[in-house]
Amino acid sequence: MSARPQQPPATIGVVGAAGVVGVSWVAMFRHHGFDVVAQDPAPNLAGRIESFVARAEAALRELVPSTRTPGRVRCVGTLSELGAVDYVQENAPEREELKRQVLAELDALLPPDVVIGSSTSALLRSSLVRDCRVAPSRVIVAHPFNPPHLLPLVELVGAAPEDPAVAWATAFFRGLGKTPIVLRREVVGHIANRLNSSIYREAVSLVEQGVASVEEVDAAMTAGPGPRWAVFGPHLLYHLGGGPGGLRHYLEHLGPSQVRRWADLRTPELTPELCAELIAGVDAAAAGRSVEDLENERDAALLALLRARTGSGATAEG
């Protein structure tokens, strides 16, 4: 792929637009003034997008004030109906065979200088592009953290960190107020989901071992590490944990205790019994609130947190 001009696209294709991540991308791109072609074979695609955008737009207006007129959304059922688009965000179900097929079809349909970003949360880019024959280097991983219309992280994986498609995507997402992070090499789960998975593994293990209930494990997170991680990442927090001596002091004096904890961690087996206990615990914690209720509660809290982090709530406009 040849390097593209460092300018934002005019029309964006969102493939797999009916899912949780896809519809969130549609709302975000539309808010920034881009026309969006939303593709998904799901029934009532337009209704789902309209409903989600109505809920998301108020938060987006507050978080990313824009003088631009929101873009138009056109819904289609097949990839061949995408038409002329300047960037594509793929969000097909997380099945390697399906994603390989979708990306290969997009690669064959689109001009070779159009970047294609996959929202895959765990699959390796090198496997996903195996069937791409036209311009595989323009197919990258552009993995957001859910919900993409609010959270700034976008993890980028290309054929190489310095690849033109990665450079273009870095500039593009940074212009939207996002925080793009380019991985130096591909790894299953990228960065954020590996961190997430390690925490959830131990959260499930603590329930499995009878140490605490689902609600108690969640409370330990939200009342302790969670708020701190919204300010600094784990490395800086352990640096502070070392006091005036910083991380050097921590590793010298408390590193062995950390190693002992690592050695005691275990990988639980998701037996039917454990799954039932986890589901019952989540039902109890939800206390009658629907998934939509919980999403609204989460998004309101995220919006308040993001406002506090930025001072004014405004982020860069691309």
Q: What mean pLDDT is reported for the chain?
A: 93
Q: Structure pTM?
A: 0.91
- Whether residues 165 and 238 fall in one domain: no
Domain span at 246: 192-310
- Whether residues 36 and 58 fall in one domain: yes
Q: How would you class 63 by CB atoms within 10 Å of its CB: exposed for 0-12, middle for 13-18, buried for 19 or more?
A: buried
Q: Is residue 55 domain-resident? A: yes
Q: What is the pLDDT of residue 61?
A: 87
pLDDT tier for residue 65 given thresholds of 50, 70 and 90:
confident
Q: What is the pLDDT of residue 12?
A: 98
- Whether residues 113 and 204 fall in one domain: no
Count the residues in the chain: 318
pLDDT in tens, 203-254: 999 999 999 999 999 999 999 999 999 999 999 999 999 999 999 999 999 9
Q: What is the pLDDT of residue 311?
A: 66
Q: Which residues contact 37 (CB under 8 A, 6 or more apart)?
A: 11, 12, 13, 14, 73, 74, 76, 81, 82, 83, 85
Nearest C-alpha neighbor of 26 from the set 147, 108, 113? 147
pLDDT in tens, 95-149: 999 999 999 999 999 999 999 999 999 999 999 999 999 999 999 999 999 999 9
Q: Are strands 115-118 and 139-144 parallel, antiparallel or unpaired?
A: parallel
**In the listed set 182, 202, 233, which residue is the last one of a domain according to the structure?**
182
pLDDT at 57 over 70: yes
Query: For residue 244, what is the DSSP state?
Result: G
**Cα atoms in the 13 Å half-sphere on the side-chain side of 180:** 22
pLDDT in tens, 306-318: 888 876 444 444 3
Cα(234)–Cα(269) distance, rounded to whole angstroms?
27
Task: Please state whether the peptide bond connecting residue 136 to the residue before it is cis, i.e. omega within 30 degrees of 0.
Answer: no
- Whether residues 142 and 35 fall in one domain: yes
Please tell me the total count of domains within the chain: 2
Q: Are strands 153-157 and 179-182 parallel, antiparallel or unpaired?
A: parallel
pLDDT in tens, 71-100: 999 999 999 999 999 999 999 999 999 999
The residue behind tokens 């502070």 is: 240
**In the listed set 134, 152, 182, which residue is the last one of a domain according to the structure?**
182
pLDDT at 185 over 50: yes
Q: What is the pLDDT of residue 257?
A: 95
Cα(238)–Cα(227) distance, rounded to whole angstroms?
15
Q: Is residue 316 domain-resident? A: no
pLDDT tier for residue 267 given thresholds of 50, 70 and 90:
very high
- Straight-line distance from the first to the last Cα atom of the chain, in angstroms, rounded to the nearest whole number: 24
**In the listed set 182, 203, 227, which residue is the last one of a domain according to the structure?**
182
Degrees, nearest 5: CA angle 29-107-92:
55
Q: What is the pLDDT of residue 314?
A: 43
- Whether residues 286 and 141 fall in one domain: no
- Whether residues 225 and 86 fall in one domain: no
Q: What is the pLDDT of residue 5?
A: 46
Query: For residue 242, what is the DSSP state?
Result: T
Nearest C-alpha neighbor of 59 from the set 84, 90, 28? 28
pLDDT tier for residue 63 given thresholds of 50, 70 and 90:
confident
